[in-house]
């Protein structure tokens, strides 16, 4: 008989090793699924995990995509993880991402066609402020009136989506766009374009910002009093009050930081890979980042790896659809399996498995 | 009576009861018998295995080995319902009652086949009168005192006509007068042949109430005795297996006023909490003020208003002459007012964080563990190590989670953390709650030493023996009001009981 026995303290070894185990388990289970669909399992797995990075012909195209997709996911997830650590649930990063993009783009477009070097920094600032302000709405409402930040931040996503539709057909519409909805393309506005920093890598300012955010979050959580207060509030809210943590300030800090980082992600996306403000500019990064944050165990380094892994399965999944004709549903199943195994394997770090039977029943 | 005759006449016999948890054997070959109509004490320090043992008898925990015999028949309850149907009931230390429901509703929720509500109410009245435990079945539990809540639990058990009643620390929440009533009820029950298995840390109580005691140490039966023939100190030494160190105090002249509260009122943050009403007190340097009172009479609120977690609506608090009424917890710490709340897990310590991190929790300001916002982990770990050494905290090291420590060890850590920061004023709530005898003695000694070195100490506690031992002056909280303090010396139980019950003035003057 198998039974689980709680470990007195979570195992550090297993906490690090379970993600590897989960990827292997996903490959096996996914391989069986692909085989049952009549596709060659090994080739499908290779297409998803290997080809995006190392295929001779596709590699050069898909490799930059890895950082392009992972960048915003990591940037947003790092911000969210601070709040999640403290028990403050910002579910509306998608809305803050949109608002960051709108505000940042608006500042840039207002100065078209200037070539001042100050334009891009001003846009970055405006993007961060836009996301920050949008996240302050649930923050202030929670602090002043005790509203639920989950509901308010989530509902503000839909408000932001409508604002996006409105500005891309109105305020920010390209005057030379022949009536099509959508702003000017930043590719034609060099002073405001978030260009690729190292050619062929997909590395743009947003990816750099994501790496910086990871480092900052790591230092904050392990070396700074504020990070300690964030963790303490999540672990034991009463003890946090006792230790002198001001809950109001902490709520506003967590929501504000996650909003600002989501806003930055939006700005870097709209001024770079997306290129313009359009009705369907947002693509769910704000929601996917929630999964990335939890996959990374709310730890900055974990989030960095989780973001890259998530981006890889997206790119690899698309490649597998293209090359092997796998149905999109099968790819989503495969991604779902990965989430499932990652979370299910967590049990190993909290429990140990015993195979013996009790002496007496 | 010899072991053999005890065995033959026994109501319940335990033989070789064994239960192991990962890393610890909670019970190792425990055997003893309980006679009908006997009050049988189960003695032992925290972690000696008392709770595991009674949980096995009550069907909450399945033993790894061993057998029990109830009235000559094999007894192996698979769950509490099975135990109750065999006549074994239990009153827990922490009540499992719903505040918003009435007494009768609460009782019917805990019964296996509750009768009609009207019949039940009549039965509750009948039983409560028969055993001298007055209780109105229609009152809402949220309005009851702790003593009355306990009556609800006891009557719930009595309605099931028990043969064996297990009681876990029943008097920790009662006033001396309520304890008397409880003991009368228990004696009535035993006269009718009901056996009582009684767990308590209060050795004086065990000496007055119990006829037989089984002493557990580290999961094994180490001794049995008739507690009436032993002194409290002998009983304590049987539990600890060592000679007991009794706190000693040296008289010191009280200095100037260190902490004062004038007419402080505060609304309780929780719905079923107690508001503080017009509290005034003064504590001098070198003095220990003991604040007694039954749980839930404003103890948590008093600590909160002093620690800075709560804000007084009216009145003023001064520390060494300076007004600190509006200061935050860390600003108060910086000025020398330190506190230790009652609840260890989640309030005075974060259970899933390491001892080092918990040392930082209150030590950051005074021990200078933070430099411009950045944490000095090395210094913090040193501080944690100093606490562990100075207060004999049993743990493999400062990296261990606070929650992995036993209650007594964690409490030593929490008190040690505050004492080592050299407070001018230290306020502690229930400093030895659930702590074994030797750890409790060490904690009390440290509080006395602190006062001797010139600090003012306020001890809020429900353990009167503790307050008599450490306090220079005594007062009591009742429904959020504080009685006028009186010198502890020569104080009799009668006066204390009246102060705790809220009758202050002529008798307590």
DSSP B358-419: HHHHHHTTTTT-EETTEE-HHHHHHHHHHHHHHTT--SS-TTSBGGGS-HHHHHHHHHHHHH
Tell me the residue range of the domain where A86 lies: 69-310
Q: Chain B within 8 Å of A12 (Cβ-Cβ)?
A: no
Contacts of B343 in chain A (CB under 8 A): 238
> Is B505 a residue whose pLDDT tops 50?
no
A236-240, B355-359, B371-375, B405-409: which has the minimum mean pLDDT? Answer: B405-409
Question: Taking the CB of residue A59, how many other CB atoms lie within 10 A of it?
Answer: 14
Domain boundary among B240, B272, B307: B240
CA distances from B447 to A83, A264, B394, B460 (A): 39, 54, 20, 12
- Partner residue opposite A225 with nearest CB, options B63, B353, B370: B370
Please give the angle made by the CA atoms of B300, B301 and B302, to the nearest 5 degrees.
90
Measure in Å the smallest separation between the Cα of B55 and chain A Cα atoms: 17
For chain B, percent helix, then strand, then coil, each to nearest 5?
35, 25, 40
Statement to judge: residues B134 and B187 lie in one domain: yes
Using CA atoms, how far apart are residues A278 and A168, in angstroms rounded to an integer? 5
Contacts of A357 in chain B (CB under 8 A): none
- Binned at pLDDT 50, 70 and 90, residue B506 comes out as very low
Using CA atoms, how far apart are residues B503 and B491, in angstroms rounded to an integer? 15
Residue in chain B lying closest to A222 (CA)? B375
Measure in Å the smallest separation between the Cα of B103 and chain A Cα atoms: 31
Q: Strand, helix or coil at B130?
A: helix
Q: Do B328 and A246 touch (CB under 8 A)?
A: yes
Mean pLDDT of chain B: 87
Using CA atoms, how far apart are residues B26 and B49, in angstroms rounded to an integer? 5
> Is B61 a residue whose pLDDT tops 60?
yes
For residue B58, say if its preceding peptide bond is cis, omega within 30 degrees of 0.
Answer: no
Examine residue A87 and state whether it is found in any structural domain, yes or no. Answer: yes
Rounded to the nearest 5°, which phi and psi values hold at B234?
-60, -40
Contacts of A233 in chain B (CB under 8 A): none
pTM: 0.78
Statement to judge: residues B206 and B286 lie in one domain: no
Q: Do B329 and A241 touch (CB under 8 A)?
A: yes
Q: Chain B within 8 Å of A212 (Cβ-Cβ)?
A: no
The domain that contains B291 carries what CATH number? 3.40.50.300
User: What pLDDT is stored for residue A356 in this prediction?
Assistant: 63
Residue in chain B lying closest to A234 (CA)? B350
Q: Chain B within 8 Å of A358 (Cβ-Cβ)?
A: yes
Q: Chain B within 8 Å of A57 (Cβ-Cβ)?
A: no
Contacts of A246 in chain B (CB under 8 A): 328
> Is B504 a residue whose pLDDT tops 60?
no
- Partner residue opposite B364 with nearest CB, options A9, A225, A231: A225
Q: Strand, helix or coil at B352?
A: coil
Q: Do A242 and B370 touch (CB under 8 A)?
A: no
Test mutation, B334, B350, B402, B413, chain A, max A CBs within 10 A: B350
Examine residue A306 and state whether it is found in any structural domain, yes or no. Answer: yes
- Partner residue opposite B375 with nearest CB, options A228, A244, A359: A228
Instruction: Say which residue, A14 or A243, is predicted with more confidence.
Output: A243
User: What pLDDT is stored for residue B250 in this prediction?
Assistant: 60
Statement to judge: residues B303 and B451 lie in one domain: yes
Q: Strand, helix or coil at B424?
A: coil
Statement to judge: residues B234 and B330 lie in one domain: no
Q: Do A5 and B374 touch (CB under 8 A)?
A: no
> Is A361 a residue whose pLDDT tops 70?
no
Residues A51-56: contacts with CB within 8 Å, 24+ apart?
A51/A316, A51/A319, A51/A323, A52/A312, A52/A315, A52/A316, A52/A319, A53/A312
User: What pLDDT is stored for residue A146 in this prediction?
Assistant: 92
Statement to judge: residues B268 and B384 lie in one domain: yes
- Partner residue opposite A358 with nearest CB, options B64, B360, B361: B64
Test mutation, A236, A240, A358, chain B, max B CBs within 10 A: A236
Contact B401, B351 (CB under 8 A): yes
Examine residue A321 and state whether it is found in any structural domain, yes or no. Answer: no
Q: Do A223 and B375 touch (CB under 8 A)?
A: yes
Residue in chain B lying closest to A351 (CA)? B22
Contacts of A244 in chain B (CB under 8 A): 308, 328-330, 333
Q: What one-character DSSP code corresponds to residue B315?
A: E
Contact B12, B58 (CB under 8 A): no
> Is A313 a residue whose pLDDT tops 60?
yes
Examine residue A269 and state whether it is found in any structural domain, yes or no. Answer: yes
Residues 216-275 of A with CB under 8 A from B: 223-226, 228, 231-232, 235-236, 238-239, 241-244, 246
Examine residue A248 and state whether it is found in any structural domain, yes or no. Answer: yes
User: What pLDDT is stored for residue B262 in this prediction?
Assistant: 95
> Is B208 a residue whose pLDDT tops 50?
yes
Q: What percent of chain B has pLDDT over 90?
A: 45
Contacts of A5 in chain B (CB under 8 A): 22
Using CA atoms, how far apart are residues A57 and B300, in angstroms rounded to an integer? 70
Tell me the residue range of the domain where B279 lies: 257-500
Using CA atoms, how far apart are residues A59 and A50, in angstroms rounded to an integer? 9
Q: Strand, helix or coil at B88?
A: strand
User: What pLDDT is stored for residue B283 in this prediction?
Assistant: 95
Domain boundary among B208, B240, B272: B240
Contact B415, B340 (CB under 8 A): yes
B372's torsion region: left (phi>0), alpha (psi -120 to 50) or beta?
A: left
| Chain B residues within 8 angstroms (CB to CB) of chain A | 22-23, 63-65, 307-309, 328-330, 333, 339, 341, 343, 346-353, 357, 360-362, 364, 370, 373-375, 377, 400-401, 404
Measure in Å the smallest separation between the Cα of B211 and chain A Cα atoms: 34
User: What pLDDT is stored for residue A357 in this prediction?
Assistant: 54
Looking at the structure of chain A, the number of domains it has is 1
Mean pLDDT for A126-131 is 97
Q: Do B64 and A360 touch (CB under 8 A)?
A: yes
CA distances from A232 to A9, A84, A206, A221, A251 (A): 18, 12, 30, 11, 13
Q: Do A236 and B350 touch (CB under 8 A)?
A: yes
In DSSP notation, A227-257 reads: HHHHHHHHH-HHHHHHTT--HHHHHHHHHHH
A84-93, A104-113, A196-205: which has the minimum mean pLDDT? Answer: A196-205
User: What pLDDT is stored for residue B46 in this prediction?
Assistant: 67
Statement to judge: residues B181 and B291 lie in one domain: no
Domain boundary among B176, B207, B240: B240
Measure in Å the smallest separation between the Cα of A140 and chain B Cα atoms: 21
Residues A251-254: contacts with CB within 8 Å, 24+ apart?
A251/A88, A251/A139, A251/A142, A251/A143, A251/A149, A252/A136, A252/A139, A252/A140, A252/A143, A253/A226, A254/A82, A254/A83, A254/A86, A254/A88, A254/A90, A254/A230
- Partner residue opposite A239 with nearest CB, options B64, B350, B370: B350
Statement to judge: residues B214 and B267 lie in one domain: no
Statement to judge: residues B395 and B261 lie in one domain: yes
Rounded to the nearest 5°, which phi and psi values hold at B450?
-60, -45
Half-sphere exposure of A70 (CA within 13 A, CB side): 28
- Partner residue opposite B361 with nearest CB, options A8, A232, A246: A232
CA distances from B250 to A298, B37, B418, B443 (A): 53, 46, 21, 16
Among candidate residues A298, A321, A295, the one with its CA nearest the CA of residue A306: A295
Using CA atoms, how far apart are residues A246 and A233, in angstroms rounded to an integer? 10
> Is A85 a residue whose pLDDT tops 90?
yes
Contacts of B368 in chain A (CB under 8 A): none
Instruction: Say which residue, B199 or B21, is predicted with more confidence.
Output: B199
Statement to judge: residues B222 and B311 lie in one domain: no
Measure in Å the smallest separation between the Cα of A237 and chain B Cα atoms: 7
Examine residue B123 and state whether it is found in any structural domain, yes or no. Answer: yes
Interchain CB contacts (distance < 8 Å): A and B: 77
Summarize pLDDT for B91-106 with one digit per residue, the tens. 887 677 888 888 999 8
Using CA atoms, how far apart are residues A42 and A320, in angstroms rounded to an integer? 12
Contacts of A223 in chain B (CB under 8 A): 374-375, 377
Instruction: Say which residue, B146 or B214, is predicted with more confidence.
Output: B214
- Binned at pLDDT 50, 70 and 90, residue A202 comes out as confident
Contacts of A8 in chain B (CB under 8 A): 22-23, 404
Q: Do A228 and B360 touch (CB under 8 A)?
A: yes
> Is A232 a residue whose pLDDT tops 60?
yes
CA distances from B7 to B55, B72, B371 (A): 22, 10, 67
Contacts of A146 in chain B (CB under 8 A): none
Question: Helix H segments across chain A?
Answer: 12-36, 41-49, 51-54, 59-85, 93-110, 119-145, 149-169, 205-223, 225-235, 237-242, 247-270, 285-295, 300-324, 328-344, 347-350
| CA quadruple B80, B84, B85, B87: dihedral sign | positive
Using CA atoms, how far apart are residues B23 and B36, in angstroms rounded to an integer? 36
Statement to judge: residues B222 and B266 lie in one domain: no
**Radius of gyration in angstroms for the set of CA atoms belonging to chain A, rounded to a whole number:** 22
Q: Chain B within 8 Å of A24 (Cβ-Cβ)?
A: no
Q: Do A242 and B364 touch (CB under 8 A)?
A: no
User: What pLDDT is stored for residue A13 in this prediction?
Assistant: 80
Question: Helix H segments across B99-257?
Answer: 103-109, 117-130, 146-158, 176-191, 203-209, 232-240
- Name the pairing type of β-strands B288-292 and B456-460: parallel
Rounded to the nearest 5°, which phi and psi values hold at B262?
-125, 110
- Partner residue opposite B352 with nearest CB, options A224, A235, A238: A235
- Partner residue opposite B65 with nearest CB, options A7, A242, A360: A360
Examine residue A163 and state whether it is found in any structural domain, yes or no. Answer: yes
Summarize pLDDT for B178-203 with one digit per residue, the tens. 888 889 889 998 998 999 999 887 77
> Is B269 a residue whose pLDDT tops 60?
yes
Mean pLDDT of chain A: 91
Mean pLDDT for B440-450 is 92
Q: What percent of chain A has pLDDT over 70?
A: 97
Contact B316, B279 (CB under 8 A): no
Statement to judge: residues B277 and B167 lie in one domain: no
Statement to judge: residues B334 and B450 lie in one domain: yes
Looking at the structure of chain B, the number of domains it has is 2
Run of H or E including B80: helix B80-85
Examine residue A188 and state whether it is found in any structural domain, yes or no. Answer: yes
Measure in Å the smallest separation between the Cα of B70 and chain A Cα atoms: 19
Q: Determine whether B1 is exposed, middle or buried from the number of CB atoms within 10 Å of its CB (0-12, 13-18, 19+).
A: exposed
Residue in chain B lying closest to A352 (CA)? B22
Using CA atoms, how far apart are residues A50 and B481, in angstroms rounded to an integer? 73
Contact A76, A285 (CB under 8 A): yes
Among candidate residues B301, B265, B300, the one with its CA nearest the CA of residue B280: B265
- Partner residue opposite B375 with nearest CB, options A6, A225, A244: A225
Measure in Å the smallest separation between the Cα of A242 and chain B Cα atoms: 6
Examine residue B249 and state whether it is found in any structural domain, yes or no. Answer: no
Q: Which range among A54-68, A136-150, A336-350, B147-161 has the greatest average pLDDT?
A: A136-150
Q: Do B374 and A225 touch (CB under 8 A)?
A: yes
- Binned at pLDDT 50, 70 and 90, residue A82 comes out as very high
Question: Taking the CB of residue A202, how many other CB atoms lie within 10 A of it?
Answer: 22
């Amino acid at each position: 008989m198998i039974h689980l026995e709680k470990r007195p303290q979570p195992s550090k070894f297993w906490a690090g090793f379970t993600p590897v185990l989960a990827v292997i388990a996903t490959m096996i289970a996914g391989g069986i699924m692909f085989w049952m669909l009549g596709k060659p399992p090994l080739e499908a797995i290779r297409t998803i995990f290997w080809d995006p990075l190392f295929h001779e012909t596709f590699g050069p195209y898909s490799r930059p995509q890895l950082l392009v997709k992972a960048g915003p996911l990591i940037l947003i997830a790092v911000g969210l993880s601070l709040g999640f650590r403290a028990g403050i649930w910002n579910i509306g990063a998608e809305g803050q991402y949109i608002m960051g993009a709108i505000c940042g783009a608006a500042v840039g477009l207002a100065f078209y066609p200037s070539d001042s070097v100050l334009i891009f920094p001003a846009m970055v600032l405006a993007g961060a402020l836009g996301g920050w302000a949008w996240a302050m709405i649930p923050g202030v409402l929670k602090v002043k009136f005790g509203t639920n930040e989950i509901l308010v931040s989530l509902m503000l996503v839909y408000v932001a989506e409508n604002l996006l539709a409105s500005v891309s057909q109105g305020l920010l519409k390209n005057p030379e766009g022949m009536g099509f909805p959508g702003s000017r393309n930043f590719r034609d506005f060099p002073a405001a374009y978030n260009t690729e920093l190292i050619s062929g890598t997909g590395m743009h300012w947003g990816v750099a910002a994501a790496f910086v955010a990871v480092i900052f979050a790591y230092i904050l959580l392990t070396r700074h009093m504020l990070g300690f207060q964030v963790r303490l509030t999540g672990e034991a809210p009463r003890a946090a009050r006792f230790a002198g943590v001001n809950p109001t300030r902490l709520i506003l800090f967590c929501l504000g930081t996650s909003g600002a980082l989501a806003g930055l992600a939006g700005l870097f996306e709209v001024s770079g890979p997306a290129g313009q403000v359009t009705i369907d500019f947002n693509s769910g990064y704000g929601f996917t980042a929630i999964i990335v944050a939890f996959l990374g165990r709310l730890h900055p380094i974990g989030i960095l790896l989780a973001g890259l892994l998530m981006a890889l399965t997206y790119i690899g999944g698309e490649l597998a659809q293209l090359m092997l004709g796998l149905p999109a549903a099968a790819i989503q199943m495969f991604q779902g399996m990965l989430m499932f195994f990652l979370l299910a394997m967590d049990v190993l770090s909290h429990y140990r498995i015993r195979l013996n039977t009790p002496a007496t029943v | 009576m010899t072991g053999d005759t005890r065995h033959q006449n026994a109501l319940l016999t335990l033989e070789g009861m064994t239960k192991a948890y990962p890393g610890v054997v909670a019970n190792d070959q425990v055997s003893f018998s309980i006679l009908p109509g006997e009050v049988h004490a189960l003695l032992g320090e925290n972690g000696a295995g008392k709770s595991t043992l009674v949980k096995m008898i009550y069907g909450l925990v399945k033993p790894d080995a061993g057998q029990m015999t109830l009235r000559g028949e094999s007894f192996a309850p698979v769950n509490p319902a099975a135990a109750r149907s065999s006549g074994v009931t239990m009153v827990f230390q922490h009540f499992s009652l719903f505040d918003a429901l009435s007494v009768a509703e609460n009782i019917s929720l805990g019964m296996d086949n509750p009768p009609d509500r009207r019949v039940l109410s009549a039965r509750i009245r009948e039983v409560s009168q028969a055993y001298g435990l007055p209780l109105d079945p229609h009152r809402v539990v949220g309005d009851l005192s702790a003593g009355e809540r306990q009556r609800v639990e006891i009557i719930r058990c009595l309605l099931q006509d028990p043969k064996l009643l297990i009681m876990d620390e029943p008097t920790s929440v009662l006033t001396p007068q309520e304890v008397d009533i409880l003991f009368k009820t228990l004696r009535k029950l035993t006269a009718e042949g009901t056996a009582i298995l009684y767990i308590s840390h209060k050795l004086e109580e065990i000496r007055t109430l119990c006829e037989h005691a089984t002493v557990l140490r580290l999961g094994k039966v180490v001794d049995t005795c008739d507690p009436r023939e032993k002194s409290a100190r002998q009983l304590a030494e049987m539990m600890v297996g060592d000679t007991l160190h009794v706190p000693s105090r040296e008289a010191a002249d009280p200095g100037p006023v260190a902490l004062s509260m004038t007419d402080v009122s505060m609304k309780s943050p929780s719905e079923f909490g107690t508001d503080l009403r017009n509290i005034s007190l003064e504590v001098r340097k070198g003095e220990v003020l003991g604040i007694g009172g039954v749980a839930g009479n404003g103890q948590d609120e008093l600590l909160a208003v002093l620690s800075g977690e709560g804000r007084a609506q009216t009145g003023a608090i001064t520390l060494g002459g300076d007004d600190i009424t509006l200061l935050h917890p860390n600003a108060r710490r910086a000025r020398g007012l330190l506190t230790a709340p009652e609840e260890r897990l989640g309030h005075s310590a974060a259970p899933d964080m390491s001892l080092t991190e918990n040392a930082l929790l209150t030590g950051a300001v005074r021990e200078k563990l933070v430099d411009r916002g950045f944490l000095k982990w090395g210094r913090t770990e040193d501080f944690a190590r100093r606490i562990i050494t100075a207060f004999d905290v049993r743990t493999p090291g400062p990296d261990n989670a606070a929650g992995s420590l036993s209650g007594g060890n964690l409490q030593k850590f929490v008190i040690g953390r505050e004492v080592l920061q050299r407070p001018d004023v230290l306020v502690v709530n229930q400093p030895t709650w659930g702590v074994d005898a030797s750890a409790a003695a060490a904690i009390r000694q440290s509080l006395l030493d602190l006062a001797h070195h010139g600090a003012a100490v306020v001890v809020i506690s429900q353990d009167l023996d503790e307050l008599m031992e450490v306090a220079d002056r005594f007062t009591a909280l009742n429904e959020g009001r504080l009685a006028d303090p009186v010198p502890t010396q020569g104080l009799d139980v009668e006066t204390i009981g009246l102060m705790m019950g809220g009758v202050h003035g002529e008798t307590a003057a």
